[in-house]
Amino acid sequence: MTTVTEFAPAKINLTLRVGLLGRDGYHPLESLVVFADTGDRLSFHSAPDLTLTIAGPFGEALGAAADNLVLRSARALLVASGKKAGAHIILHKVLPVASGVGGGSADAAAALRGLNRLWGCGLSDIDLEKIGQALGADVPVCVQSRTRFMSGRGEVLHDVRCWPVLDAVLVNPGFGISTALVFSRFDEMGHGEKLSGKPFAGADDTDQAISQLQGFENSLSAAACALEPRITALLSTLNALPQTQWARLCGSGASCVAVVHAAQDAKELLEKIKTAYPQYWVKPVKLGVQASP
């Protein structure tokens, strides 16, 4: 095998509850995670050395390739598998950077999957998830890129009994926000929650899903909005539009997601957001799909 391709779908935390900072320096969390039908694409080509080329509309925003999470994933896989191999990796960056939609984590997971195939490592998804734990809290759930409920530091993954595919719109206001800064402000505000420890019950259809989501807030939303008031304005706009059934901050921001009833509602919402915020990145999506390359 000389070339492998992988799709790295956007990761959306539909629910996100964050606990108080632990003695280990980490925050426990509980989150219902779904994946969208939009994302980055990676290709892996046999080569003597390990190199990375970044392209795409958001490629320049990633900065120096040497510290990219994709290369860190590749090196971690080499260590775990005992392989001695190289690859030229091309990352086509479609998702905004530092936007809360798990682009970096999804890319890292895609690198683990793609290079596992290219190099013939023969590792299972469970093996790759364990490697991903050392790369970032969101990497393990991105390995299989399917609807899961995650807890702990992101390493405890539960299957969700049933969850419908939802129509939605993703909006990024054209700037990133530091996850570290959001968590720092979160700690200052003392907003850590007592977590339930119970897996998410699931939902059978769109109406039931929306009803369940109404009972959840994003624990990081207040901190992100305090750091960047434009997020507050965007959420207010989304929630005021008739097509929106439910809207929240994505992860630590700065992107937001609005769930609607149907694809036509997503198209109408897109037009309204484009009119109100012509410079923003706006994308109608399906959430809860298990996408393939």
* CA atoms of 98 and 113, how far apart (whole Å): 22
Beta strands in the chain (DSSP E): 3-18, 29-47, 50-55, 86-92, 148-152, 156-159, 166-172, 246-249, 256-260, 281-287
* CA atoms of 115 and 45, how far apart (whole Å): 9
11 an active-site residue? yes
Q: Which listed residue (11, 93, 272, 283) is catalytic?
A: 11
Structure-token pair, residue 279: 């410079």
Q: Which listed residue (138, 167, 265, 283) is catalytic?
A: 138
Q: Specify the amino acid at residue 60.
A: E
The Cβ of residue 36 has, within 10 Å, a number of other Cβ atoms equal to 26
138 an active-site residue? yes
DSSP secondary structure of 168-203:
EEEEE-S----HHHHHHHHHHHT-PPPP--------
* CA atoms of 58 and 159, how far apart (whole Å): 32
Which positions are annotated as active-site residues?
11, 138
